[in-house]
Amino acid sequence: MIDSLRSRNVVAPVAILGLLFAACWLLAAQGNTYVVYLYGIGLVYATATLGLHLLVNDCGDISLAQGGQVALGAFVGAQLFPLVPGPLGPIVLVAGSILAGALAGAVVSLPMLKLRGLAVAVVTLLLNAAIFHFVLRFPDFVGGSGGLRLRPADWLPRSDADAVGWLTVLTIAVVLAVQTLRRSRFGLGLRAIRANEALARSAGVAVQWYRTAAYTVAGGTAGVAGAMWAILHHGVAPSAFTDASSLLLLTLALLGGRGSVAGPMAAAIGMGVLTGLLGGYGIVVSFAAPVALLFVLIKHPGGLNEQITMAAHGLRLLGAKLRRRHRDAGPPAEEAGAVVERAGSAAKGAGNGFTPDVPPPSADAPIALRCTDVDVTFGGLAAVSAVGIEVHVGEVLALVGPNGAGKTTLLNALSGHRRPDTGKIWLTGQEITHTPTHRRAALGLRRTFQVGGHMPAEPGFEHLRLGTHVQRSTSRGEVADRVARQLGLTQADLAAPVGGLAAGTARLVEIGMALAVPGQVLLLDEPTVGLTPDERRQLAGTLRALARDGLAIMLVDHDTAFIRWVAHRVVALDAGRIIAQGSPGAVFSDSVFVKAYLGSAEALV
Amino acid sequence: MSTLILSGAIAGLVYGLVACAIVFVYRASRTVNLAQGDIGMVAAFVFLSLSVRGDLPVALGVAAALACGGLVGWLMNRLVISPLGERDQGTGLVVTLALASILQLAALQIWGGSAYHFPPWFGDWAGVTIAGLTLRGPEVLALGVSLLFVLGGSVLYQRSRLGLRLRAVSESRQAAATLGVHVKRISGYAWLLGGVMSAAAALLIAPLTRFDPHFMFAVMTSALVAALLAGFKSFPVAMGAAVLIGVLRNVVGFQFSTAGVDEVLLLAFAIAVLLVKPPAALRTVT
């Protein structure tokens, strides 16, 4: 199934763009070269939009300089082209353009290493201004107001139809490159960043570098678009671009919407051809882009992709009706099977997944995770103060305490999401106090979140794939089978978008993500929220089994029954300090703890 | 040189007004308004049409321009930002850039693209000379009015009931709503006041610069960098950064007469400061 998907991803763009090129060739043969030229412009827009699609729709960042980078690429390429004679010329043209665009993208996103996306988006606006108001006004660089001409003898297409052939090849190359990136670990990492940055970090994604890379890729595609512009026009003039072109390209990406590249490409090619045909109504055209943008963002945030999906769905339904296949009921039967299977696995979990009395690890078991003297303050509030805690290999440790006791803050300090003000943290003897979250994840420190720990639009399989992000050489099928077995998830659960699953199932997918690669330490923040009693029992059994195999587990939870099943040791926090620790039974009857929890000294049942 | 620095600092105060308007609007609605400068541009053209080319008294023309700025800001929020709801901040940037583009296109349609003469305030008054430094009439006014706005703004923000509600909304929209603050209405007021500030800034800077539908561009980029360095949070930092940028722009623009070199300077300045001393409010790792 994966192979057929892959070939479809290559065949579909090649076939569609090839057919469009054939249509252009026919039009050119009839002498209608203007439309052919406009289609070429559309391809330039489409190529520049492809990189933005990855940046804007996948990663959720904004570049307001894409038009500037297209212009920069065009001029750099046109400057380099005459330096190299012969067939190498066009190659140097394209390569120079890509480099120029990508370099500008990389430089402008440098602040990303420290700052939120908003800051970088604003910096891209400044880059756009600097390019249009300074770089493109250097007479030597842009060849005066007449611009740079590429000599026609030098290995370049002569007619518009030939040029569109070249552009089609370049566009296909960019589509395939962008699609490969989007389907790779990199693309998945970008989508995870968009869904939840903290989640992406804890899955081992180097968030800052990924975003910088996304800006670089977007700049590179802008460079290709610049080269295409120069090839189509046999040169480039400064008047060809205005600083509004960046807004136009951004509009095209958002008009296309999240998901497939089809939406943005359709928007770009459509806009290229339409604005050309409406050339006489210049004012209508220039108002159209910003107004269209506002309309789409307010009324149809899904963009063209949503419309395309809906249309395709409608067509499929229509086709099914026409062929009278609706009585066949294939999919419902499959679903019913899934339900049966699920019920079976839950029953199994209730029956033997739970093993109450696994002895705690011996006292000389090595320490997996340790922290000393950790302080975390929010303004004047000491959320965690002077906490020292350790969890041994093979041990399940539960953190308990009333709301606001600092349990989640402590987990954040351990996983690296919140830097402690003082204190040190070691992972199996290695100090990790200043190690970034994603590297802690790669070292085997995995975690789940109390809320928002998944990507709602992605299926469970993609979550498990994100879970294996730190290990390149993991077989996806194997991981899915193992995790599904451990947690009692069905293949149907893993195939559906997690946002549509029951809360408990989604929670299990999140835990599965943290279990996707063998780790050293697992931190779980309220894993039982949304789980049924059966699922809780099965989870307890699974966690105990994982601990027996050498995993150290630290979890935060409020379900005392669950903690009694699962935990070897309990540490109670109140107001950021440890107030009691010991076996579950001892802590839950400890008068200090019970008072902190309930306000009176009546023991928990 | 000292004249360059002084006039740069005064231009910087005006940039600072726009920067404070950006911070003000951001704090109330989590949107960086890239159209903040062009709201002022439209207001300045309204003044031009009413009081310079028309014959409305100057005081009424100024009042109408300020009201127009406020109205445009309020309408933007009411018609576009509010219906968008809670989206990521990138969306706000894109939308306000589109609005800026629409305002500029409309101004080009109505008033044309060529430069106008914007009459200096106080006609032919030569200005004041202190210790060998001459301040022209419009500069004196810019200095006075900016300081007045800073003073009035901080009193409004810190002391008044409206200021309290604005601060509550900027801390947490949800918490403010549960305490009975009409969050949408308060955001609307912020956009209105931001528009008035932009209009005032545009009227102050117009006689000191080339006046056409793009004349707020340099003001806007400077103000944006100042607001960015303030983390879209602190008014004093935004004002200080704006004055510094005004001085830098003036001095560098004078040293290198190439057009646009100040935009490159601004880009380099922004990247350098963001890397060396990133504003706490925008940092990723806490």
Helix (H) / strand (E) element for A15: namely: helix A2-29
What's residue A333's pLDDT?
Answer: 44
Q: Please report, for residues A189, A301, B81, the alpha-carbon distance to residue A57 in angstroms, rounded to integers and kept in the order given.
A: 13, 11, 20
Selected for mutation to probe chain B from A114, A137, A409 (highest B CB count within 10 Å) is A114
Provide DSSP, A559-577.
-HHHHHHH-SEEEEEETTE
Is the pLDDT at B266 greater than 70? The verdict is yes
Banded pLDDT at A596 (limits 50, 70, 90)? confident
Q: Provide ipTM, 2 decimals.
A: 0.89
Q: Which residues of B touch A135 (CB under 8 A)?
A: 264
Structure confidence at residue A6 (pLDDT): 62
The fold for domain A367-598 equals Rossmann fold (3.40.50)
CA distance A291 to chain B (A): 7
The pLDDT of residue A99 is above 90: yes
Which residues of chain A lie closer than 8 angstroms to B90, CB-CB?
56, 60-62, 117-118, 121
Q: Which fold has domain A2-283?
A: ABC transporter involved in vitamin B12 uptake, BtuC (1.10.3470)
pLDDT of residue B91: 84
pLDDT band at residue B154 under the 50/70/90 scheme? confident
Q: Which range among A59-73, A107-121, A570-584 shows the weakest confidence by mean pLDDT?
A: A107-121
Half-sphere exposure of A383 (CA within 13 A, CB side): 18
pLDDT digits (tens, 9 = 90+) for A306-316: 888 888 888 88
Residue A5 has pLDDT above 80, yes or no: no
Q: Give dist(CA A360, CA B13) in Å, integer.
A: 68
Please, what is the average pLDDT of chain A?
A: 85
User: Dihedral of CA B227/B231/B237/B243: which sign?
Assistant: negative
Of B261, B270, B271, the CB nearest to A134: B261
Cross-strand pairs, A554? A397, A523
Both structure tokens of A539: 């989870």
Q: How close, in Å, is residue B205 to chain A by CA atoms?
A: 20
Residue B260, chain A, CB below 8 Å: the answer is yes
- Looking at the partner chain, which of A107, A108, A247 has a beta carbon nearest the beta carbon of B101? A247
Asked if the Cβ–Cβ distance from A114 to B274 is below 8 Å, we say: yes
Share of chain B above pLDDT 90, in %: 39
Q: Measured between CA atoms, how close is B149 to chain A, in angstroms? A: 26
Determine the pLDDT at residue B64: 95
Q: Average pLDDT in the A578-594 region?
A: 86
Interface test with A, best of B88, B249, B271 (most A CBs within 10 A): B271
Cα A128 to Cα B264: distance, rounded to the nearest angstrom: 10
How many angstroms separate the CA of residue B282 from the nearest CA in chain A? 6
Q: Which residue has the higher pLDDT, B46 or A599?
A: B46
pLDDT exceeds 80 at position A23: yes
Q: What is chain A's Cα-based Rg? A: 29
Yes or no, beta carbons of A247 and B89 under 8 Å apart: no
Give CA torsion, residues A70, A73, A75, A78, to 10 deg: -130
Query: Which of chain B's residues have a Cβ under 8 Å away from the Cβ of A289?
Result: 98, 101
Q: What is the pLDDT of residue A100?
A: 96
Quote the pLDDT of residue A334. 45
Q: Note the pLDDT of residue A279.
A: 73
**pLDDT > 70: what percent of chain A?**
90
Query: A596 vs chain B: nearest CA distance in angstroms?
Result: 27
Mean pLDDT highest for which of A310-324, B19-33, B131-145?
B19-33
Q: Is the pLDDT of residue B251 over 60?
A: yes
Cα dihedral A379, A382, A388, A389 sign:
negative
- Per cent of chain A over pLDDT 90 is 34
Q: Distance (Å, rounded) from C-alpha B68 to C-alpha A417? A: 46
Check pLDDT > 60 for residue B264.
Answer: yes
Most confident range (mean pLDDT) of A170-179, A241-250, A447-456 is: A170-179
In the predicted model, is pLDDT for residue A280 greater than 80?
Answer: no
| B271:A197 CB<8 A | no
A-chain residue closest to B84, CA distance: A298
- List pLDDT tens digits, range B40-85: 999 999 999 998 888 888 899 999 999 999 999 999 999 999 888 7
Is a pLDDT exceeding 80 seen at residue B134?
no
pLDDT for residue A447: 92
Range in B34-38, B126-130, B166-170, B176-180 the model is least confident about: B126-130
A601 falls in which pLDDT band (50, 70, 90)?
low
**Considering only A148-157, A188-197, A374-383, which range has the smallest mean pLDDT?**
A148-157
B128–A contact, CB cutoff 8 A: no
Lowest-confidence pick of A220-234, A345-359, B79-93: A345-359
Q: B201, B17 in Cβ contact below 8 A?
A: yes
pLDDT tens track for B191-242: 999 999 999 999 999 888 888 888 898 899 999 999 999 989 889 999 999 9
Q: How far is B240 from chain A (nearest CA, A)?
A: 19
**pLDDT at position A87 over 90:** no
8-state DSSP, A115: B
* A-B Cβ pairs (cutoff 8 Å, strict): 143
pLDDT in tens, A314-369: 888 888 888 865 555 544 444 444 444 444 444 444 444 444 555 667 767 889 99
pLDDT at A29: 83
Contact A122 B32 (CB under 8 A): yes
Domains of chain B: 2-282 (1.10.3470)
Give the closest of B80, B105, B284 to A115, CB-based.
B284
Our CA-based measurement puts residue B171 at a distance from the nearest CA of chain A, in whole angstroms, of 14
Which chain B positions have a beta carbon within 8 Å of A62's beta carbon? 90, 93-94
* Residue A2 predicted with pLDDT over 60: no
In percent, the amount of chain B with pLDDT more than 70 equals 98
A167-181, A224-238, A478-492: range with lowest mean pLDDT: A478-492
Task: Give B170's Cβ-side CA count (13 Å radius).
Answer: 20
Sort out which chain A residues have CB atoms less than 8 A from B275's CB and list them.
110-111, 113-114
Q: How far is CA A310 from CA A317, A319, A350, A515, A534, in A?
A: 10, 14, 42, 36, 38
Q: At residue A132, does pLDDT exceed 80?
A: yes
* pLDDT value of position B281: 76
Who among B80, B93, B263 is closest to A62 (CB)?
B93
Please list every residue in chain A whose beta carbon sits closer than 8 Å to the beta carbon of residue B83: 298
Round to whole Å and give the CA distance between B29 and B20: 14
Give the residue extent of every domain in chain A: 2-283, 367-598
Residue-level pLDDT at B44: 94
Please name the member of A125, A254, A419 whose beta carbon is closest to the beta carbon of B286: A419
Among A66, A113, A115, the strongest candidate for a mutation testing the B interface, having the largest count of B CBs within 10 A, is A115
